[in-house]
Amino acid sequence: MSLRVTRLVAVALAAVAALSACGSSGAPDTVLGSASDGKLTVGIRFDQPGVGFRTLNGDYRGFDVDVARYVAQELGVSADRIEWKEAEPADREKLITSGQVDFVVAAYTINDKRKQQVDFAGPYFSVGQDLLVRQTDTSITGPQSLNGKRLCSVAGSTSAQQVKAKFAQGASLVEYGRYSDCVTALLANIVDAVTTDDVILAGYAAQNPELLKVVNQPFTKDSYGIGLRKGDQDSRVKIDDAVQKMISSGAWQQALQTNLGKSGYKIPDPPKVTER
CATH number at residue 208: 3.40.190.10
The rounded Cα 272 to chain-centroid distance in angstroms is: 17
pLDDT at 36: 96
Closest to 244 (Cα-Cα) out of 264, 212, 268, 271 = 271
Do 43 and 118 belong to one domain? Answer: yes
Regarding whether 73 and 33 lie in a shared domain, the answer is yes
Do 200 and 242 lie in a common domain?
no
Q: Is residue 276 part of a domain?
A: no
The domain boundary residue, chosen from 194, 214, 234: 214
Asked whether residue 6 is domain-assigned, the answer is: no
pLDDT per position as a tens digit, 208-218: 999 999 999 99
Provide the 8-state DSSP code for 208.
S
Contact between 121 and 230 (Cβ < 8 Å)? no
Per-residue DSSP letters for 155-170? TT-SHHHHHHHHT-TT
Q: Are residues 140 and 190 in the same domain?
A: yes
Q: What's the Cα-to-Cα distance from 205 to each of 49, 63, 196, rounded to whole Å? A: 9, 15, 13
Beta strand 172-176 with 150-154: parallel, antiparallel or unpaired?
parallel
Say if 58 falls within a structural domain. Answer: yes
Pairing of strands 103-104, 118-127: unpaired
Within this chain, do residues 250 and 117 fall inside the same structural domain, yes or no? Answer: yes
Give yes or no: residues 210 and 104 share one domain: no
Task: For residues 71 and 143, state if they share a domain.
Answer: no
Phi, psi of 141 (to 5 degrees): -120, 0
CA dist list (Å): 186 to 3, 12, 179, 193, 265? 79, 67, 10, 6, 18
In a domain, 5, yes or no: no
Residue 217, classed as helix, strand or coil, is: coil
Alpha helices in 122-232 (DSSP H): 159-166, 179-187, 198-207
pLDDT tens column, 186-231: 999 999 999 999 999 999 999 999 999 999 999 999 999 999 999 9
State the CB neighbour count (10 A cutoff) for residue 53.
20
Host domain of residue 175: 129-214
On whether both 115 and 135 belong to a single domain, the answer is no
- Residue 105 is assigned to a structural domain of this protein: yes
Q: Examine the domain organization and report whether 231 and 123 are in the same domain.
A: yes
**Which segments of 167-274 does DSSP mark as H helices, in order?**
179-187, 198-207, 233-249, 251-260
* Count of structural domains within the chain: 2
Whether residue 53 sits in one domain with residue 69:
yes
Flag whether 17 is in a domain: no
Residue 185 lies in a domain: yes
Q: What is the SS3 assignment for 24-56? A: HHCCCCCHHHHHHCCCEEEEECCEECCCEEECC
Q: Has residue 14 been placed in a domain?
A: no
Beta-carbon count within 10 A of 242 CB: 22
Q: Give 10-residue mean pLDDT values along the chain (276 residues).
A: 48 43 60 97 95 95 98 97 94 96 96 95 96 97 96 84 91 91 96 95 92 94 96 97 97 95 86 78
> Which pLDDT does position 275 carry in this prediction?
56
Looking at the fold, whether 96 and 41 belong to one and the same domain comes out as: yes
The answer on 112 and 233 residing in a single domain is yes
Decide if 110 contacts 222 (C-beta within 8 A): yes
